[in-house]
Structure 1
Amino acid sequence: MLSICADNSGHRILTAFARCLLVLVAIIGWLPYALAQSTGDQHFFVLDNPGDPNFNQLLGINSARVIVGYFGDGTVVANNGYVLIPKNHYAPDNFTNLPSGDFASQTQAIGINNKRFPDIVGFYTDNATGFTHGFLDSNGTQSTVDDPAGSAPNVTTPVQNLLGINDFGDAAGFWMDNNGHEHGFIVLLDFQTPSKSTFIEIPPSMFKGAVATQASNFTDLGQVCGFWTDGDGNNHGFFGLLGPLLFMFNVEINGVPAISTSPFGCNNKGEVVGSFTDASGNVHGFIFNHGRSVQFDAPGSSQTPAFGVMGTFINGVNDNGDIVGFFSDGTKVNGFVNYAAH
């Protein structure tokens, strides 16, 4: 599941496989430590990779509380994906399965599932072309996963992301068109031959007045969460089964609707998480559960932008209700985990 388990040629050799097994055993050995982090009174933790203590985003968490994310703002420091066993056991997850002479200039690890050896999805940018691709990291083998609809020659400079993955190997993401608008999709992954994966489009035409869509995650129950964007640039959430049963919603706090609602994650319990923008232009995290929205602001969060980020973003939620995300403290962008009280 980790990038260090694949060589640049894409061919696995015995020593690489052995390293992979050692890493996986190490992670399994660390799981009891991860599960113990919410004991006591403290449930909220700021977790920043020392690779760049000024910019971290935690983006996905599975039910064993293994976290994926990245450090680096992408300008001063390149995006570097990682897997984290809290509080401080980091393993790099940067895409390395590229032709000789090429390398990934940016990588983000975004989604992780609950398999014994979890699959991870995210994106990388290859240096040779500058194109951004979705990727799957499964059992030490890394593969590019791109929606043909958003690939060259249909798109001049392709940008594709995979954002979440369920336990059956179905992933959610988006591709970007030549006008800079996102188009969401679900992909039924073919692990043997990723290029033969099946893509189900969630186009803007599904939503009246939409210019863009994003699919953020796809649960084991076949429910998708994400958002569509209107002509004014405001987002509106959706959750449920694709088709007529898809439920659309906007966050409402104390009877006041949000200006923009952006779901970034969902779980098998029907909880949806993300961020919303209030009438004052401030950004907050939210947890939406069966028609009720709860605002969440990370302790120490600030509406003063840092590296282009303001307020609090919740990006992932597992089936225990644990959440991960990031926030601005006015100077830095910090990753956080908040464990649900049990």
Structure 2
Amino acid sequence: MHHGSLHPALISLVRDRTRIAPALLALAALVAAAPSTTRAEVINITSFSLPGTVRTTIQDVNNAGQIVGDFRSAPGQFIQPFIHDLNTGGTTTFTIPDSTNIVAAGINDLGQVVGLFRSATDNTLVRGFLKDGSTISVIQVPGSPNTYPIRIRNDGLIVGRFDDPSGFRQGFFYDGSTFTPYAVPGALSTEIDAITSTGTFIGNYRDASGRSLGFIDDGTTFTTLAVPGAGGFTNAFDINESGLIVGSFVDSLNRTLGFTYLGGRYTTFGVSNPNGGLFDTYALGVNDFGKIVGFYFDENGRQHGFTAQFIPEPSSLALAGMGGLGMIGIAVRKRRSALKRSATA
């Protein structure tokens, strides 16, 4: 089965400087322990389900190892959001007034969460939200019946999609005060799923023939993403600071599988079925350490989350390691600046 787009360490490092060295050692270990292969790989695919649930979906992961997603505690129950720390194992949930189904879609390195919920008063309406600590704010594009925030950058910029009053779906950027729409020229629909600190953003669009395709836009060049042999369905769901993109596609066997895209090369993967073959797999999020998250459907059609690790090609490992070290330093400085601003506000 396949569906439309779902649309997808730094805090600890700042709080405790003694953890910077272990984080750098972990990155160095990734470079040193990479398997001997001429291709990029996705390894350590591990199933994840919250205890006592009948459905678990992981939507995003930040650099502190916090994941967000949604779960259903019993058949017919409303979908509820969760935040889970992969390091400590702690899980928290939250509610939103006047809501039924709630999905936590994105989390940044400051722990701010964005997502969407269906109104209990009028379940035909979908609203977005921002959770910042204990404060939850509703996000709605003016005049839109449906607003879907998907990711939030560390500086607070939110991206997603919305339906205008006529039903035309397009992407948006929201800086906390102004919504800026974005539509791929000639597309039947557009959504923005993630954006980097330098402004490169990725998303999906439906072309005039009805194909669902991914894209990457760096402000100068627009590139369509289509996994070779995917036919009419390739969705890009997240991008990290190294330019690693993750998403899903439908293959020639009509299976939905995950993919990575880096430096013009695709790698495909799926959660293994013990009875043979691969389960339908959706790769929704990736952090700057190459941790991939998403969900899959088992043989009974039940949803489970998963985590995995991306290993780049050996030729790019050294550069990835150097870039990662610089990224950590830049991100820590940005986080310190943010703390200073909040302390003086």
Q: Which TM-score applies when normalising by structure 2? A: 0.72
Question: Contact between 2:150 and 2:160, CA under 8 Å: does it hold in 1?
Answer: yes
- Equivalent in the alignment of 1:230: 207
- Equivalent in the alignment of 2:67: 67
- Are residue 286 (structure 1) and residue 266 (structure 2) matched? no
In structure 2, relative to structure 1, the CA distance for the partners of 1:74 and 1:121 (3 Å cut) is farther
- Equivalent in the alignment of 2:84: 84
- Equivalent in the alignment of 1:46: 47
In structure 2, relative to structure 1, the CA distance for the partners of 1:50 and 1:145 (3 Å cut) is same
In structure 2, relative to structure 1, the CA distance for the partners of 1:302 and 1:91 (3 Å cut) is farther
Moved more, 160-169 or 170-179: 170-179
- Are residue 295 (structure 1) and residue 268 (structure 2) matched? yes
More helix by share: 2
- Are residue 147 (structure 1) and residue 116 (structure 2) matched? no
Question: Contact between 1:265 and 1:274, CA under 8 Å: does it hold in 2?
Answer: yes
State which of 103, 106, 109 in structure 2 corresponds to 1:111: 106
Task: Output one character per residue of 1:181-237: Cα deviation in whole Å (capped at 9) or x when no partner.
Answer: 531111112xxxxxxx2112112xx333x2111111111111111010124442111
State which of 220, 242, 245 in structure 1 corresponds to 2:221: 245
State which of 270, 285, 289 in structure 2 corresponds to 1:320: 289
In 1, Cα distance between the equivalents of 2:241 and 2:298?
31
- Equivalent in the alignment of 2:182: 202
**Equivalences for residues 21-36 of structure 1 within 5 A:** none
- Equivalent in the alignment of 1:163: 150
In 2, Cα distance between the equivalents of 1:51 and 1:133?
28
State which of 171, 177, 185 in structure 2 corresponds to 1:184: 171
Q: Which amino acid aligns with 1:123?
A: L
Q: Which amino acid aligns with 2:61?
A: I
- Are residue 335 (structure 1) and residue 326 (structure 2) matched? no
- Equivalent in the alignment of 1:120: 113
State which of 126, 134, 138 in structure 2 corresponds to 1:132: 126
In structure 2, relative to structure 1, the CA distance for the partners of 1:238 and 1:199 (3 Å cut) is same
Q: CA deviation at 1:245?
A: 2.1
Unaligned runs of 5+ in 2: 1-10, 36-42, 312-320, 322-345
Please give the root-mean-square deviation of Cα atoms over the aligned residues, in Å: 3.1
In 2, Cα distance between the equivalents of 1:125 and 1:295?
33
In 2, Cα distance between the equivalents of 1:304 and 1:181?
38
Q: Which amino acid aligns with 1:282?
A: R
- Equivalent in the alignment of 1:15: none
Secondary structure of residue in 2 paired with 1:43: strand
* Identical-pair percentage: 25
In 2, Cα distance between the equivalents of 1:299 and 1:272?
21
Q: CA deviation at 1:139?
A: 2.4
Q: CA deviation at 1:241?
A: 2.4
In structure 2, relative to structure 1, the CA distance for the partners of 1:207 and 1:120 (3 Å cut) is same
Bigger relative contact order, structure 1 or 2, given CA contacts below 8 A and separation 6+? 2
- Equivalent in the alignment of 1:194: none
In 2, Cα distance between the equivalents of 1:301 and 1:110?
29
In structure 2, relative to structure 1, the CA distance for the partners of 1:234 and 1:186 (3 Å cut) is same
Task: Output one character per residue of 1:1-42: Cα deviation in whole Å (capped at 9) or x when no partner.
Answer: xxxxxxxxxxxxxxxxxxxxxxx99xx89xx8xx89x99998
Question: Contact between 1:287 and 1:295, CA under 8 Å: does it hold in 2?
Answer: yes
Q: CA deviation at 1:126?
A: 2.1
Q: How many residues align?
A: 278
- Equivalent in the alignment of 2:340: none
